[in-house]
A and B are shown apart, each in its own frame.
Chain A
C-alpha cells in the first residue's frame, strides 16, 4: 500500500522534473539549439492537451454510464485533423501571416481589429473555461483523496479545499514562470511546450499501461476481453442518434475554438509542415488514449464493489489489485493531464484578458496625458498577463468551491465545450466568407452566448441555484416557449442536444443575417480580403496612410513594448532596407504596417492598431484612401495604356521611315547610275562634235562631206540641247515658276499633234483610236498637255517590245474627270518599278535606246499636277498603261467659253 506521503513525494518529484525539463528547454532554445524542440513530434504531443483529466479519468466513467458515446469526444478532433487541408492549414497560415496571439485576436483582427469583438470572445472563453479548470482541480484533488482514503485517512471538505488550493497555487507559479518569460506570444514557449510533451508521453504511457494490465493481466487476452465486453452489463451501442452526431460535431468544433487548442495548434506552431505529420499522428494518439477505455470500464464494473465511482477506475482498479506502482503511474498520468491543460488554458486566457481587456483599458486611461512617451508598457502588459493567470486560476478555484465538487465530471465538460463553440460561426465565416462583417459576428456571438447561458450554463449550475424549478418547468413568468430546456415549445430533446442545436442555429443565423444587412468599414474589408485570400498572397493595400508619426516616436513606443534591443534591431533593419544610413528609417506606410504586425505579436491586433493610431494621429485607412489607392492603380493603368499607344505610333513611324529609307536608297542607286549615264550621254555627242569640228577645221574635204559632217555636229548639238532643255524644264516645273498659257482646243487635235511630233512615221507602232470619244473641248495649257502626250507616245514607241507594237489611245469620262489612257501591248513595267518610273532620273532599262535621260515621266507628272490633274501607271495583265486624268471643271469651263 502506497503511503500518502510517498505519493506526495512522487508528485513533487515529478513536478520538479517538469520544472527542470522546462528550464533546460528554455536554456537550449536561448542558446539557439531549438531545432529538435520544434519537431513535428513535439508539435503533435503538445496537441495532447486536448486530453485533459476529464478524458483521462472521465472517459472510463463516461463509457461505464453511456457506452460508446465517450468516443465521440475523440472522433471530432480526429475528423478535424484528418481534414486539416480544409480548415487547419488555412488557420495556421493566417495565424502566422497575421501574427495572431489568440482566438480572440483572430476574431478581432478579422473583423477590422475590433476591440469589442475581442472583449466578447474573451468573456465567452473565460466563462466557458472556468468550469473546465475547476474540473481539473477537482480531478487532481479526487485522485489525491483516493490514495488518502486507501490509506484509511478519511478526508473532509477542508482537506479537499486545501489540496485544490495548493494545486492551483503550484500551477500558477509554473505558468507565470514559464508562460510570461517573453512578451511576444508568437515566440514559442519552448519550456512549456517541452514540459507538455513530456506530460503527454506520461499520460499516454499511464493509460496504456493500465489498459495492458487490464486486458492481459486481468482479462487474459484480447479475445477473452472481447467476450467479456459482449457479456457486460454496459450497452455499448444504445445511442440516441441526435447525441452521437451532435457530440461529434461539438468536439470537432471545440477542438478548433478552445483557446488552449488555438494556442498550441496555431500560435505555438513553428512550421506549417508539422501539421502534415500531426494530421495522422494526433489521431493515432487519440486512438491509443481511447483504446483501453472500454476494457477498463468493463473490468472495473466487474471487479470493483458496487457503487464505486467509475470516474476513478483508472486509479482504483490497479490499487484494488495491489499494483501500487501502476497506480502511482496512473496518478501521475491524471496529474499530467490536468496540469498541462490548466497551464496552456491559463496562458491562452491570460493573453486574451491582458491584450483585449486590460491593456485597452490602461491605454484609454493613459491617452489623455499622451503618456505614450513615459512609462514602460512591457511591464504593464507582463504584469497584466501574470495577474490574469492568477485571476483565471482563482476563478477556477472559486467555481470548484462553489459547485461543491460532487457532480459527474463529463456533464460540465460538455456544457463548457458548447459555450466555447459559440465562436465557431464567426471563425469559419471569417476565414471563408469575405462578406462576414463585424456587426454580424457580434450579433452571432452575443446571441449564442445568451442562448447557451440560458439553456445550458445556468441549468448546469444546479437546480434552484440560479434558475428555479418552476422556471425550468414552465418558463420565465409562465412564458412556456422560453423554457430553458424546451425553447419554442419543442419538447423531448436531450437537454444538451437541445442547447447545441438552438445556440448554433440562432448564432449562425444571426451572424449571417447581421453580415448581410450591415456594411463593413474599409479596414474590415481589407482584413477580410487578407484572411480569406491568405493563399493567394495578394498584395495588400496599405492600411496606413502617411501620418504625422515620426520614426522617433514610433521607436520610443516600440521600445516600450518589444524592449529596446529588439525594437532597435527592427528599425535598423528597416533603415537598411530603405537604403538609409543610421538607424532611423522613414515612417512609410509599409513600414508602419510591418511594425504594427510586429507589435500585434505582443499585444494583439486591436491594441497594436490603437497604439499606432494614437501616434499617427488616428489616420487609419478611410474610404478616400482606398479610393486613392484605386485611383493610383487606375492612373498607372492609363499611363501604361498611353505608353502602349505611343509605342504603337512610334512603330508606325519607324515603319514609314524604313519605307522612306528603302525608297531613298533605291533612288540614290538610280541617281548614281543616272550620273554615270548622263556623263556618258553628254560625252558621246561632245566627242563627235569635237572630232567632226576638228576635221572641218583641218579642211581638205569635199563639199558633200563637209555638209554631212556639219549635219552631224548640228544633230549632236540638238541632242545636247534637248537634254539640257529637259533638265531645265523640270527644274522650272518643280520650283513652281512655270507660266501656264490658257488655250482652248479639241482633244483629238491635241492627240494628232502629239502623234506627229512623236515621230511615229519612222516606226511601225500602230495607233488605235476612237475619234468620236475624243471630241472633247479642253481649256488648259494645251502645249504642255501635248508635251505629256508626246512623251507617253514616244515612250511606247521606244519601250514597247512586242513584235507588232500597238498603242491604244482611249478617252473615258468619269464623274468629275476625263481619262486619257495610253495602253500598249508590250511587256509592261515590273511591279517593283511602278513607283520609281515617275521619279526624276529614273530609268528602268539601262540601255539608252532613245537617249532619254529618265526625266520624261517626271516632267509629265509635274505638268499634270500643275494642270490640276495627274498621270498614273495602271497595272494590267499585259502591256503598260498610263492614264492621264484631267479634272472636268477645266473641261466644263472650256465648253462654256466655246
Chain B
C-alpha cells in the first residue's frame, strides 16, 4: 500500500545574505542577528557616512562597494580603502569610536544588510565567531589602507588607476561599471585632466574601453601587468587564511 508522501516541512532557514561574514557565521549567531538585519539598497554616489557624524548603523555589503575617502579641509579627497561583500562598513563603532572623520560613499549601486550599531555591538561583544571574522576583516582593511598610503606616494597615475580598476572589478559582478571621470578624480586624488590622460592610455593599449561614464574591462591580465604590485600584495593578505 502506498503511503502518502509527506511534503517536506517548509525550510526554516531562508537563504543567508551574500555577505561573506554573515554567510560564514554559525547558525546560532546568525539567528541572533537576523531579526535586526534590514535589506537596503543605495544608489551610486549616496553618502553612507558623513565625516564626524555618529555611526548609527553598520552595513554588511551584499553587492557593490563602499568607498572610504580621507577628506581634507580644502575639499580634496583620496580613497583610503574600499569595502565589498567581503566586509562590513561602520567598523569604527565596533572598535569603540562613535564617528570617523572619513567619508563613506556608495561607489556603485549598493545592496547591504543594515543593522543598528547598538544591536551589532552586543553580538560583537560576545567574542564569538562574528568578533573573530570582523577583526580579521579589519586587518585586511588596514593592510589595504597602509598599502594605499605607500602607493599614493610612490606610484604613477597609470599604475594606480589600473590597480583601482582591478580592486573594483574584484568586488563588482560583470566587466562593465558606471564611472565618471569626476568620481575617479576624487578617488585617486588627481585632477580630472590627469584621469583623462591615464584612462586614455589604458584605452589605447586595449585594456579598457569607456564612454559616457561607463568603463568596460577588456584585458584583465593586461591591467594586472600595468598595475603596481600593491594590488597583488593586498589581495594576498585578503586571501590568506589562518
Chain B binds chain A: no
Give chain A's interface residues, CB within 8 Å of chain B: none
Give chain B's interface residues, CB within 8 Å of chain A: none
